[in-house]
Amino acid sequence: MSVQTLEGARPRDLRAVRQRRRQLHGLLLLIIVLLAAGVVLFSIASETLLDRPLRFLDLAVVRVGFVVLAVAFATYAFLHERRLSQAERALVEERVLATALSGRLRDMTALTEAGRAVSSSLSQDQVYGVILDSARDLLGATEASVMLLDPETRVLRMVASSGLDEAAMRDGVAMLGDGVAGWVAESLQPVVLRGDVRDDRFKAFIPKDRPVASAMSVPMRTSDEVLGVINVSVSGNGKVYSEHDLRALTAFAAQAAAALANARLYEQERKTSTELAELERQRRDFLATLTHDLKTPLTSILGYVKLLRRAGDNLNSEQAHTFTDVIERQGKRILEMVEQLVEATRLEEGAPALAREPLDLGRIVDEQVLAVGGMLEGRRLDVEMPSQLPETYGDRNAIEHILMNLLENAVKYTSPGGQILIAVEPAERDVRVSVTDDGGGIPEKELPHVFERYRQAGDDSAKGSVGLGLYIVRSLTQAHGGKVWAENVPGRGARVTFTLPVRSR
């Protein structure tokens, strides 16, 4: 049996080779015993039983013959034994290699399946779950966690875990460079911990209520950024991780990082797509609103112009004044819409350039109340304002624009006979100005969106604007370093409040 014929043998051929070796050893021992016995018997027979004529047979020659035969057979047995030994060693090495390759193949298969499972998920929450499940299955872990890095704050925060309690999730925070997870994220070097790893530095991914046999932490990174770390551990008397396990988790972490980056990109694309769809819807609504709101006053203007032409000199002064007053009012309405469009376009192009000068806020409020007086038509406008106000700095024209937009909105959504309230209230670091109408309020689902472009602040039936007034209010307020918000007032309508910072001494 040659080595070549045994190199591809199956495990049962290894047993056959070992059996042949045992048989050869037994046969060699038997031959040696027989040869020794033959030499002894021949010696005894030659001294006592053989006749004198046989004396020519030299006993020494016979003994030498037996020895030669023994040596020859021993040489044959030795050579055959060496071939069998080589064959057995080759088969053992083949079995060890096959076992190692089989284990490696299982690991690679598991790693491939884990990577495929991770890559098949698109949402971040799904990716977290697949990462944890795949890491535990791949490495036989009892606990696993994912920590993501915030590049601005340099803080690692646990975003998902499996096998850990809520306390571990709350404690799963580490600064970059602190503890094992922080060091791994900063150095980009994986770590394997063996033996008793009960240590406060590892509390971000080690259970508190049971001993841990081994743990690993590896970085998740793409070509241009570090995303975080993956931690796995084995509680109790489980397996102790080896360098091979660490390499497997490192390879898996690379796939997990790619999948997580893709999920982030997908989420961003989905958000962008949703925003674009919403902007497109708003654009269509805006065009429809603008068309309607421009068409109404234009139709009114053209109608009265035709009446003026037809009536000519037959109109008395009062009728002529009424017609021209309608034309002027509708023309101003169109001009207001155009001015809002121009102002919104200017704000979209960048932060407005505002003047910084001392403001007499009380005087500005009084002037805007007088300016809006002609629009009230039976509505009552009340002002609540202290006689003394803190000094504020800002752009007078911008503040007037803010107040006029809020007052015009309040007039539109307050029916004749209703009340509009302006309240000016000093606070610790700012002055708050609010305008409350007496209308039907703002639908709750619309409250977070009323300051967006092309949004109506109330019932769509209240026409007369293109939905840019509150957008302009927010932009100008924020340019002053202030805040603005809208809320519903029980028993009344809607209230819009904006703040102006008090001048620091």
494 or 458, greater pLDDT: 494
Which residues in 339-356 are b (16+ Cβ under 10 Å) and which e?
Answer: ebeebbeebeeeebebee
Tokens 């390499």 found at: 247
**Could you tell me the pLDDT band of residue 451, with boundaries at 50, 70 and 90?**
confident
102 or 56, greater pLDDT: 102
pLDDT at 361: 92
**Could you tell me the pLDDT band of residue 342, with boundaries at 50, 70 and 90?**
confident
In whole angstroms, what is the distance from residue 417 CA to residue 127 CA?
59
Answer whether residue 233 shows pLDDT above 50: yes
Of 81-95, 265-279, 442-456, the least confident: 81-95
In whole angstroms, what is the distance from residue 221 CA to residue 260 CA?
10
Answer whether residue 463 shows pLDDT above 80: no
Q: Full-prediction pTM beyond 0.85? A: no
Q: Which helix (DSSP H) or strand (DSSP E) does residue 208 occupy?
A: none
Angle formed at CA 421 by CA 415 and CA 422, multiple of 5 degrees: 135
pLDDT at 335: 79
How confident is the model over 131-180, as pLDDT tens digits? 888 888 878 888 888 899 988 888 898 888 888 877 777 777 888 888 88
Mean pLDDT to the nearest integer, 342-347:
69
| Nearest residue to 425 via CA among 488, 348, 350, 361 | 361
pLDDT at 96: 64
pLDDT at 2: 40
283 or 464, greater pLDDT: 283
Measured over the CA atoms of residue 19, residue 20, residue 23 and residue 24, the dihedral's sign is: negative
